[in-house]
Structure 1
Amino acid sequence: MSWLKKILYLCLIGLVLAVFTVAGAYWYVKDDLPDVSLLQDVRLQTPMRVFTADGELMSQFGEQRRIPLTLEEMPPQLIEAFLATEDSRFYEHPGFDVIGMMRAAIVVASTRDAKQGASTITQQLARNFFLTREKKVIRKIKEIFLAVRIEQLLTKDEILELYLNKIELGHRAFGVGAAAQVYFGKTVDELTLDEIAIIAGLPQAPSVLNPVRSPVNARNRRNIVLGRMLAMNYITEQEYREALQAPVISRRHGAQITASAPYVAEMVRQQVVDMFGEDYAYSAGLQVYTTITKPIQDAARRSLQQNLYDYDERHGYRGPQTQLWTAVANGTEPEPAWQETEILNYLSEHTTLEDLHHAVVVAVEEQEARVLLADGRQQTLPWDGLKWARRFINDQRQGHAPKQAADILQPGMHIRVRHNGDHWQLSQEPEATSALVAIDPNTGAIQALVGGFSFAQSQFNRATQAKRQAGSTIKPFIYSAALEHGYTLASIVNDAPIHHWDQGAGIAWRPRNSPAVYDGPIRVREALAKSKNVVSVRLLRGVGIDATIQHLRNFGFAESDLPRNETLSLGSASLTPLELTAGYAVFANGGFLIDPYVIERIYNEEGELIYQHQPKIACRDCLERPEPSANGQAHADGDAEAQLAQLFASLDPVPEKPQSEASNQAVRVLSEQNAFLIREALKSSVWGGGNWNRGTGWNGTAWRVQSLQRRDISGKTGTTNDSKDTWFAGFNSQLVGVAWVGFDDANRSLGRATWNANLGRDQSSGVEAGARTALPAWLEFMRVAMKDMPADQVETPSGISSVRIDLETGLLTRANDHTSSFEYFLRGTEPSQYAQPGSPAFSFDEDDPSTELLELFD
């Protein structure tokens, strides 16, 4: 009994000491313990996600990838796998596991190895939220006390849900939802048992156990997890054995992007960071909805890329990326072909760019070649996929058309191929680049935007950052200024070469038409549709440079981008595609300056709306209609002095109804009548004029747009000197689109393409220009974008009249045949005289500005 008493006394003393030790430890650390009540309102850091207007995921931004899930959304096997591996008595202990701690102590004492862990899920949660990973006794004490507090504050299910969403699982994946996406590209409910076991095995050491970095380590750890699940009867023997046999197949997956619009996503990222700051933008779970839709954006991307392929193929094949072995002797012995395994290992080091696949030529027949792709498939390149590939010499010259596959390819060549929808074909990464923008002209909402061939190739957004010379796309704005200063669409201007001596420079400036065809006296409408350079110069002279620049500023163009000389009339102004698109929107919407935007609304992680864009809307019925301008009235009077006075008069302000700062009405910068007249003139750029049966028919520069079979489209081509920049701008009242093609090196010309005998009529050859190089991208995009768009119902604004004119003189006519046509006029500017047979010939005096505008008089 004495020994029993001694044992009882020792136990009592030990218990008292233990109580005092725990109390002392708590007293020592209590001031350093954080407030675990924060877990009741915890905000898990989640990335910013960017969506299209129709709800497709465009991109995700943030250091930590997390997909928060409720416990009910997680598969039972996934939860059981973590319980079996990390804390089998989770639902039994008060936050710390005494049995587990004793087991760990025994392991440490017997092996002197402290690798055996004893932390419960609650302790791990406490450490992940409040503590560091340093292996010190004091940290372990804090961890235990915090775990007890957490157990008192939250239910077991709440603790487990927080843990499974918070745990770090490697490759910036936090939580099981993100891990399923990152490692397997799946949602948690799509995971197989072996994949679940791999994820459940990661918390021990995510950096070395993840299946991307080390499939072997991941498999070994998976098998341990499966063994514990079997021991706890969470899975059957058959499930265990099947999962053990499954191969470890994993690669790093990004977010499940369903809409490809990286240039738009980057624009959004920059704007959101500017609005909220980086910390909040990247971790607050913002959901940003944009103005673009997936079908329209996809059409823009595909059209731009295909157009670049077409341009690139017109100019010839630049050759393979490298020659892996030489199968044809050139004075030396042929080299042995690589084995398939060697080729696949080589190709695995190269990543696909857009739809361009890396491949190696393994056999060449008479008019086809066989290639091996990185995924192990062999594909045949038929002659239709090869015959374009004549040799590239330079931007201006190409070699002879090939006659057989061996003229192009040899076994051992590392090449690029793509599938064009019908067959595989030889291809190459385009050197030229492009941009395409489309906006709603009534609100400024960006409908589609592509800033280059590939964001992976270059993150430079040419749609918003590349200021390039506008070429002839500037002319509608020059003509608009002319209409404000007395000209009409029927005014006759001399389309003849200009020889202007610059006294200061000591040289003559000789602007020329392209092509160098001169029609002599020509109506303003026809000159704009045919893009006559010298007419644009004469109109600029008639209006004056200062007045013209002031007018162009109304379209949102910065004065610093507008050269103060006559080259302005030919497009020497430097503008971005987006700026030019916004300028054309003024014509499309009837005279209002809108502000392009791409972010429609933003929600926080709770789904609360925290930002809604309020666009300035072009509303024609919201303002008082301006009175018709009196400009040009002197034409009807036939007063030459008054004509000259009006030509050089300053621009009259456009009347508008006063607006409050809170109004969502866009500012009117152009009269409705002026916008209407330019729209109508630019329709002639598409449909031309005259009578083909009578031999007087003519095409505008945008005649290819006729294939859309829409009479509501206005358009303008643009090409700069030496074809360094090519443009097309086209629109109706519902959509404005601009396409640009060029090289990033602004000094490099797009050149010309000669006829390829292999392609027959299915090609475009000649000098690269807006109509040939940029318009096709716009055209193919609009086939999709305007497919279900109803045609504009043309309304003639008040203050506009229509009279029949003589097509040669621009005067009134009584004829009703191919020599005449109806023309629109600002009321009061209609011609007052009739064309007479045998009228005197035109005469011009280059030194007399009055001859820039011609009228015939009786």
Structure 2
Amino acid sequence: MRVLIYFLSFCLLSLAVAFIALYSFVHSTDIDINNYKVKLSTQIYDRNGVLIANVFDENRLYAKFDEIPPKLIEALVAIEDTSFFEHGGINIDAIFRAIIKDIQKGRLAEGASTLTQQLVKNVYLTNEKSLQRKLKEAIISYEIEDNLSKEEILERYLNTIFLGHGYYGIKTAAQGYFHKNLDELNLKEMAILVGLPKAPSTYDPTKRLDLSLSRANAVIKRMYSLGWISKDEYEQNLNYKPVIYDESLSKNQAPYIVDEVIRQLKNAGIEDVKTGGYKIELSIDLNTQQLAQDALKFAWDAIVKRDANIDLNQINGAMVVTNPHTGEVLALVGGIDYEASKFNRATMSNRQLGSSFKPFVYLSALDLGYSPASKIADIARVFETVDAKGEKLIWKPSNITKNFSGLITLKEALSKSRNLATINLMLDCGLNVIHSSISDFGFHSVPKNLSIGLGSFGVSPYEYAELYSIISNYGLKQPIYLISHIYDKDGNEISIADKSPKEIVKAEQAFLMIDMLMDVVNNGSGRGAKLADIELAGKTGTSNKSIDAWFVGFSPEIQVVTWFGNDNNKPMKKYEGGARTAVPAFKYFMQNYIKLHPDTKRTFDIPDGVFKRQIDGKTWYYTNTSLLPKINNSDITLEQIEEEGLMF
């Protein structure tokens, strides 16, 4: 029987060798050896180089051959393919031994694959156990050996293999299991890694550390028996037990941000985000991001405490923190709890702006020649119109206080958020003029009616942050961005967006609005945001029936857009609004931001061309273009101002 087995084995082996030789001679495989492409993880970092997340289909970081320690190569070859540097792709002796065992067991059980054959199986073929596949594997292995160097084969192999726990490639596994780069690994850690390909799940050190260490010791013993390590190295490493890390593959520290980054990249035409191996550097600061999350949760908890019957599945919020002078998004929070709801309210929702929009109406007026001291009528108005069916409609806007102030300055009207004064200002300027100005600012799909002055239309908090930079960035509309730099797998930078600012209004005019918004914080509806030793500006906003609550506030360095509301657009309690609901989140954020950044800029710059006068103990700012203010629709000359002391 034994003689028959050896005879059959010899015949099969001879046929196999002959078939391989013939097949190789006619080059009948259609595989492009040089077309080697693996799925690579994209890594996303914050502005300080801290990893935010890995994004992938297969979690793989690529390692060039010169990154791989020689000792790791020796460990791999020792345990997997000792004659790797001598054979031409297959090991005839090993195949012969395997065939004998297969015949003895009556099935294909013995592998005997070289590293080259394992590479072929992983990249070009399947795991099917059949003689036909093994023959094809051998043929392709010969072709690879003819076209690639041994170093190239090893590089491909070590970047292709699955090493358990979702890790593909040696670099990924080293960082995942040990938090080390390849050149920081010791021999025991290398042995663990090269021992994994035999059975990745079985030897996964996060699941069966005992088996993993036993397999690693087998590697070390093999290296010692071959004379590739000294006795001291053998003894020192045999009982060494490394620290193993068991953590999520994505390491996603800011899921709302990561989702938005992927969306923006796909919109920019980068479809292979999860497989292309990009390095993405963001403007986000993770410390600021955590602070924004905490601030939003702080205010949310207060809402819940005020209303025991609130629907916790609906009430939510968003916050966008930017540097309005550079456009950098420092923090972006799309909701209270990502696990509860992945919908990003910061970027994907369009919510009515309420009175937080009023500064743009007043900015339009300033650009027409009004000054903060120009007076407008805070009196009742009734408007008649018709709906789509031709039926008469009556609109009676009112102030939230239900009273009137008569003639008041623009500054006071904005500070106290007077609805009627705002509507009368629009009528004075002309609806068409205001609507055109709003469009020039960059607001889209804005209806042409007076209610827009009260923020009756919607934008997302993310878009709003960019639009508000017209004010906080002294008239320059600064495109905001999450993505600072993108590099492809070869290190080439990819440009996807123009980050250049555009002048919308003059800096002097924008400063007049900044000063008016400082008064909102110091004396008006946003006074709950006031902090000592730093100048702050901002505007509250509450949409009809308290459906939306806003506060857009900014310091000389950063801007914070905060929103709260129900996801189903149902009203919150009538006492909820910009001042009570959104302002506390801003104040919490700013208080703690200043602690983290004690050197933050604390006073607003006053541009050249801005002048000031003291009238009745109050400071009034004005510019050359506001020297002809309008009072009761009458133009007042500079001479009259100087002679009569009417305003400045």
1:464 alignment counterpart: 347
1:39-82 deviation line (CA, Å, top 9, x unaligned): 8xx55431222222322222222212112235665567755554
Q: Does 1:270 align with 2:260?
A: no
Cα 1:187–1:742 change in 2 (3 A) is farther
Q: Does 1:133 align with 2:127?
A: yes
C-alpha displacement at 1:480, in angstroms? 2.1
Contact 2:164 2:201 in 1 (8 A): yes
1:548 alignment counterpart: 434
Contact 1:47 1:60 in 2 (8 A): yes
C-alpha displacement at 1:433, in angstroms? 1.6
- CA distance in 1 between partners of 2:506 and 2:306 (Å): 45
Contact 2:61 2:277 in 1 (8 A): no
1:384-533 matches, cutoff 5 A: 392-394=308-310, 432-485=315-368, 487-500=370-383, 508-533=394-419
C-alpha displacement at 1:603, in angstroms? 1.5
Cα 1:827–1:84 change in 2 (3 A) is closer
Contact 1:181 1:253 in 2 (8 A): no
C-alpha displacement at 1:168, in angstroms? 2.5
Q: Does 1:706 align with 2:592?
A: no
Q: Does 1:104 align with 2:130?
A: no
The residue matched to 1:715 in structure 2 has which SS?
A: strand
- CA distance in 1 between partners of 2:284 and 2:504 (Å): 27
1:702-759 deviation line (CA, Å, top 9, x unaligned): 2233315223x3211111223221111123554332111112121131x26xxxxxxx
1:165 alignment counterpart: 159
Contact 1:496 1:520 in 2 (8 A): yes
C-alpha displacement at 1:686, in angstroms? 1.8
Q: Does 1:90 align with 2:87?
A: no
1:583 alignment counterpart: 467
1:73-114 deviation line (CA, Å, top 9, x unaligned): 556775555444422433443432233212212211222232
C-alpha displacement at 1:35, in angstroms? 4.8
1:349-369 deviation line (CA, Å, top 9, x unaligned): xxxxxxxxxxxxxxxxxxxxx
C-alpha displacement at 1:581, in angstroms? 1.8
Q: Return the letter of the residue paired with 2:601.
A: P
Structure 1 window deviating more from structure 2 (77-86 vs 119-128): it is 77-86
2:516 alignment counterpart: 681
Cα 1:612–1:17 change in 2 (3 A) is closer
1:498-548 deviation line (CA, Å, top 9, x unaligned): 455668765653323223454333222111111112211221222232222
- Quick check: which has more Rg, 1 or 2? 1
1:612-651 matches, cutoff 5 A: 613-617=497-501
Contact 2:367 2:625 in 1 (8 A): no
2:25 alignment counterpart: 27
Cα 1:315–1:181 change in 2 (3 A) is farther
Cα 1:21–1:265 change in 2 (3 A) is closer
Q: Return the letter of the residue paired with 1:729.
A: V
Q: Does 1:598 align with 2:478?
A: no
1:126-169 deviation line (CA, Å, top 9, x unaligned): 33333333333343233334334444554544433331221123
The residue matched to 1:23 in structure 2 has which SS?
A: helix
C-alpha displacement at 1:450, in angstroms? 1.8
- CA distance in 1 between partners of 2:127 and 2:361 (Å): 69
2:3 alignment counterpart: none
Q: Return the letter of the residue paired with 2:470.
A: V
Query: Share of identical aligned residues, percent?
Result: 32
C-alpha displacement at 1:796, in angstroms? 4.1
Cα 1:726–1:291 change in 2 (3 A) is same
- 2:306 pairs with 302, 315, 323, which one? 315
2:288 alignment counterpart: 296
- CA distance in 1 between partners of 2:489 and 2:497 (Å): 19
Q: Return the letter of the residue paired with 2:518.
A: K
Q: Does 1:567 align with 2:451?
A: yes
- CA distance in 2 between partners of 1:730 and 1:453 (Å): 20
- 1:768 pairs with 572, 576, 581, which one? 576
- 1:790 pairs with 592, 601, 611, which one? 601
The residue matched to 1:118 in structure 2 has which SS?
A: coil
Q: Return the letter of the residue paired with 2:359.
A: P
- 1:119 pairs with 97, 113, 119, which one? 113
Contact 1:85 1:225 in 2 (8 A): no
1:231-380 matches, cutoff 5 A: 232-233=223-224, 236=234, 240=238, 251=246, 253-256=248-251, 260-279=253-272, 281-312=273-304, 314-315=305-306
Q: Which runs of 5+ in 2 are unaligned?
A: 1-10
1:815-847 deviation line (CA, Å, top 9, x unaligned): xx55x65452555645799xxxxxxxxxxxxxx
Q: TM-score, normalised by structure 1?
A: 0.64
C-alpha displacement at 1:682, in angstroms? 1.2
- CA distance in 2 between partners of 1:227 and 1:594 (Å): 61
1:724 alignment counterpart: 547
- CA distance in 2 between partners of 1:602 and 1:506 (Å): 56
C-alpha displacement at 1:673, in angstroms? 3.9
- CA distance in 2 between partners of 1:483 and 1:15 (Å): 92
Q: Which has the higher helix share?
A: 2
1:286-330 deviation line (CA, Å, top 9, x unaligned): 212222333333332332233323333x236xxxxxxxxxxxxxx
Q: Does 1:536 align with 2:422?
A: yes
- CA distance in 2 between partners of 1:76 and 1:97 (Å): 23
Cα 1:589–1:35 change in 2 (3 A) is closer
